[in-house]
Structure 1
Amino acid sequence: MSTANTPTSGLHPQVQAYLERISRAGFAELHTFTPEQAREGLRRQIPMLGEPEPVAAIEDRLISLAGHQVPIRIYTPAGVAPRPVVVFFHGGGFVVGDLDTHDGLCRNLANGAAAVVVSVGYPLAPEHKFPAAPNVCFAATQWVAAHADSFGADSRRIAVAGDSAGGNLAAVVTHMARDLGGPPLAFQLLIYPDTDFRRSNVSIREFAGRYGNITRAGQHWFMDNYLRGDEEQLDPGVSPLLATDHSGLPPALVITAEYDALRDEGEEYAAALARAGVPVEVSRYPGMIHEFARHPFEVSATARSEAAAALRRAFAEASEK
């Protein structure tokens, strides 16, 4: 995939049609909504994502994690147990999103990777500001390792995954697992991850308010809801790109989109992993936009297949150790 610093391919026709449809709807700017209004708006878009594919079994549970009652959804594909397991954290800027908004993507990953997927409904801001989300996501990963047998999973083959804010949380969890005694992680799948709250790179500045990306005011709306103060932007638990040590983390696939405002920081994070000796692959998808992996674009299916294949390879390698 191309990793040049400027768009070259033009928007994919399916993306262009989608953006034109959204534009005709005349939605108000995100920062003018309350968090609950924004959450409801995202939930109303679920039918646009297409019919979700069937999975052999789905179970909802409510578990206690880090002082919170947390909903999780366990997707079990067909096959023989014990299966590897992916702990998935949904996107939504730490403010919106839930188990339902990312249900289709989790089904895709479960079937494609032949792995149990545990989707975590971590607490949202501003009701629960940083560090509630990463603390719960790390506790969920520990819970999966401790209870894998109860849902037919293999605690020796665990990956973390997420898109956008969920990619941030997956990255942060790998640092926490390394520094706080595990569990060992076989892989990290970071789909257009949010890794740098300084909001200063080329793509975050040039694409704000364009190609379906939120405006600069929208960027600050998310950050102001998530953080208690601007000084937290530099905390590695908020901006994992700024961590002083990226060594000893699990292998990674970082998926980015050509017209995504988060493109550069995802690729910069991958470069930081590579400099630290972490095996990492970067795939930039030409003509695509933020959140494309959830949508029924033809290229989105390719990205989901790539993600699933990377997980399968990582789990196969973990089995050999």
Structure 2
Amino acid sequence: MPLHPQVQDHLDRLAGIGFAGLHTVTPEQARAGARRLASTLPAEPVADVSDRVTADGTPVRIYRPAGPGPLPVVVFFHGGGYVLGDLDSHDGLARALTTGSGCVVVSVDYPLAPEHRFPAAIEAGFAATRWVATNARELDVDPARLAVAGDSAGGNLAAVVTLKARGVLPIAFQLLIYPDLDFRRTNYSITRFAGKYGNVSREAQSWFMDHYLRGEEDKLDPLVSPVLEEDLRGLPPAFILTAEYDALRDEGELYGERLAAAGVPVRVSRYDGMIHEFLRHPFDDSAAALAEVSAAVRAGLSGAVAR
């Protein structure tokens, strides 16, 4: 279907601002711009918010909904191409997920590239997930009802942490929101939509990868491109959200097909007329998608046995 009118209005406003191409600025300049944009996004109240630091020194922000514990818990990883984003940039999305799912959400401020290249973010993300499971009693959460979630690069991190945790940590569910899962950058949507519909250009795609990766060979590592993982058996159930005009659409849907072929319960939900990062904007379909992903998390964790 055509771009949703609300999305078209949003893209027209962005075009009027005249942002410089990401590949023409420094990471620090890009981060400052991303922070300014994030400050305009809506946020809703939750029962409690607290900032902590994990055992290995990674900052986290813990959002609690109303109600007695121990509650199910979601470890959340923000998007931003592994170069941008922080706890504040995705504060609104973390709050919405907390309210919608009824779970405690632990948002992880993993280290960014190029200061910290692959696999630093993955190591910090896995350690933060293990910290939540190990300190479940203190956090008043149920380690048997633990999910990981993330959007864009955060979806990549959630998928990779799930792969690393197989047989090690009891992750019960994975929520991948328009995830970035194939760094080969060769599929239809990544090439056809580059530089259009709010997606970054091919030059900006390379800008992100050049900052994050140590070299070309990293693109073929399943911990960078999870679609290349040969064995996906035994992973927890997944919900994958995609958008029709998102450059990352095809790799998210391919990963869903590969999970299903490996016997992993998975649902893929595509929102027609929508774009990358639409969940963070006040579109009508964003509210519907937030309700759907929140319901998926609730259902995915309801089958786990509470302790």
Question: What TM-score range do you get, normalising by the shorter chain?
Answer: over 0.9
Residue-by-residue CA offset, 1:159-202 (whole Å, 9 max, x unaligned): 00000000000000111001xx4211110000000000000000
Q: Partner of 1:30 in structure 2?
A: 22
Secondary structure of 2:304's counterpart equals: helix
Distance in 1, Cα, partners of 2:53 & 2:98: 20
- Which of these residues, 42, 45, 55, is aligned with residue 54 of structure 1? 45
Q: Is the 8 A contact 2:145 2:306 kept in 1?
A: no
- Which of these residues, 242, 245, 248, is aligned with residue 259 of structure 1? 245
- Which of these residues, 183, 186, 203, is aligned with residue 169 of structure 2? 183
Secondary structure of 2:133's counterpart equals: helix
Tell me, yes or no, if structure 1 residue 154 matches structure 2 residue 145.
no
Percent of residue pairs identical: 63
Secondary structure of 2:269's counterpart equals: strand
Q: Give, in angstroms, the shift of residue 79 of structure 1.
A: 0.8
Structure 1 gap segments, 5+ residues each: 1-8
Distance in 2, Cα, partners of 1:15 & 1:293: 11
Residue-by-residue CA offset, 1:74-121 (whole Å, 9 max, x unaligned): 000001110000000000000000000100111111111111000000
Q: Partner of 1:241 in structure 2?
A: 227
Q: Partner of 2:285 in structure 1?
A: 299
Q: Partner of 2:37 in structure 1?
A: 45
Structure 2 gap segments, 5+ residues each: none
Q: Give, in angstroms, the shift of residue 320 of structure 1.
A: 7.2
Q: Partner of 1:312 in structure 2?
A: 298
- Which of these residues, 25, 43, 68, is aligned with residue 80 of structure 1? 68
TM-score, normalised to structure 1's length? 0.94
Secondary structure of 1:319's counterpart equals: coil
Secondary structure of 1:144's counterpart equals: helix
Q: Is the 8 A contact 2:142 2:306 kept in 1?
A: no
Q: Give, in angstroms, the shift of residue 36 of structure 1.
A: 0.8
- Which of these residues, 1, 6, 18, is aligned with residue 10 of structure 2? 18
- Which of these residues, 84, 88, 91, is aligned with residue 96 of structure 1? 84
- Which of these residues, 105, 121, 124, is aligned with residue 109 of structure 2? 121
Q: Give, in angstroms, the shift of residue 148 of structure 1.
A: 1.4
Q: Give, in angstroms, the shift of residue 47 of structure 1.
A: 3.2
Instruction: In structure 2, give the amino acid aligned to 1:98.
Output: D
Q: Give, in angstroms, the shift of residue 319 of structure 1.
A: 2.7
Tell me, yes or no, if structure 1 residue 226 matches structure 2 residue 226.
no
Secondary structure of 1:318's counterpart equals: coil
Q: Is the 8 A contact 2:78 2:85 kept in 1?
A: yes
CA RMSD of aligned residues (A): 1.0
Instruction: In structure 2, give the amino acid aligned to 1:94.
Output: Y
Tell me, yes or no, if structure 1 residue 204 matches structure 2 residue 196.
no
Q: Give, in angstroms, the shift of residue 42 of structure 1.
A: 0.5
Q: Partner of 1:140 in structure 2?
A: 128
Distance in 2, Cα, partners of 1:26 & 1:150: 48
Distance in 2, Cα, partners of 1:266 & 1:250: 16
Secondary structure of 2:171's counterpart equals: coil
Q: Is the 8 A contact 2:44 2:95 kept in 1?
A: yes
Distance in 1, Cα, partners of 2:151 & 2:249: 12
Instruction: In structure 2, give the amino acid aligned to 1:285.
Output: Y
Residue-by-residue CA offset, 1:276-296 (whole Å, 9 max, x unaligned): 000000000011000001111
